Amino acid sequence: MARQRDDMADRRVTVFGGSGFLGRRIVERLAAGGAEVRVAVRHPERAAFLTGSDRPGQITAVRADVWDEATVAPALAGADAVVNTVGHYVERGDASFEAIHGQGARHVAEAAAASGVRRLVHISGIGADPASDSPYVRARAVGERLVREAFPAATILRPSVMFGPNDFLDRLAGIARVMPAIPLFGAGDVRLQPVYVEDVAAAVVKALATLEAAGQLYELGGPRVYSYEALVRLVLEQTGRRRLLLPVPYAVWHALAALMGPLPRRPISRDQVKLMQKDNVVSPGALTFADLGITPTPLEAIAPTYLRRRED
């Protein structure tokens, strides 16, 4: 049983990327627990939906770019703890994987150490590997190493693909709405272990309040492993559609991604194709939700609530 520090009530926590898919859930949970939360984002005006809560002044937004070192330290002033959720799946301009997941992570960890922050939770991803041929996966691993060097007591969380409203399942449902066939990555047999975004947010809060979590790495996956094809079929079942499933060789996906490369908002990148070529599941022997005292939520208990609503 994990021994608890008191809780996060009356603590000051800075959440980098706090308006994102995961970050907003972390901010809301921390605030609900009585913490004073600072949302550090590139565009503070886009976090207005969080700061305009029923707890005036408890959630504030500040401008910070993790790859702009000068903006990081001010966002940490007076904080007891920090969470870094910043991440991108597509490189755009100066926002490279190395800048965000590597050097950006280092900037946060170094500033946290210099400012005397007690706890740091860094969000990475399952499969982070410095030897990977995927720039995204390599940068995630580099970021973990740089965080450890700067802040050895950091807790690193590696979630699998996260689900919740407006997620990848929603995007699949959108494709199914307009296309007669759903293209699969290869044979559709890559394995994924989808994890509920609210469970990952709960793990972040638990890690901040658990002394034993300091310096540890956890891999967070849902209670069941699925093939990509099984997930597509689940979406079709929940949205009441019948579509042809079309296996597409990875070589074709890479060619399509290369052709779309010059587009400012390309629907898929070569790096995303590489991610879909490797299983994304919890490693044997890894610390998991169980070690934080959390039972992960089944996909079937949540996905129907928003996939069916999409069709209403």
What would the two tokens of residue 54 be? 């029923």
C-alpha distances in Å from residue 308, one per residue of 91, 194, 239, 270, 312: 33, 19, 6, 31, 7
Mean pLDDT over the full length of the chain: 91
- Which pLDDT score is estimated for 57? 78
Those residues whose C-beta lies under 8 Å from the C-beta of residue 27, and which sit 6 or more positions away, are 15, 18, 19, 37, 39, 50, 59
* Residue 308 pLDDT greater than 90, yes or no: no
* Residue 228 pLDDT greater than 90, yes or no: yes
Q: Phi then psi for 117, rounded to 5 degrees? A: -60, 135
- Which pLDDT score is estimated for 6? 47
Please report, for the chain, the start and end positions of each structural domain, with discontinuous segments joined by +: 12-162+195-222+281-294
Kindly write down the DSSP assignment for every residue of 173-217, as one continuous string.
Answer: HHHHHH-SEEEEEBTS--EE--EEHHHHHHHHHHHHTBGGGTT-E
* Residue 270 pLDDT greater than 90, yes or no: no
**Contact assessment for residue 82 and residue 104, using Cβ atoms and an 8 Å cutoff:** no
Superfamily of segment(s) 12-162+195-222+281-294: NAD(P)-binding Rossmann-like Domain (3.40.50.720)
* Residue 7 pLDDT greater than 80, yes or no: no
Closest CA to 151 of 108, 183, 181, 188: 108
Those residues whose C-beta lies under 8 Å from the C-beta of residue 187, and which sit 6 or more positions away, are 229, 247
Give percent of the chain above pLDDT 90.
78
Structure confidence by residue, pLDDT tens digits, 10-58? 899 999 999 999 999 999 999 999 999 999 999 999 888 888 766 667 9
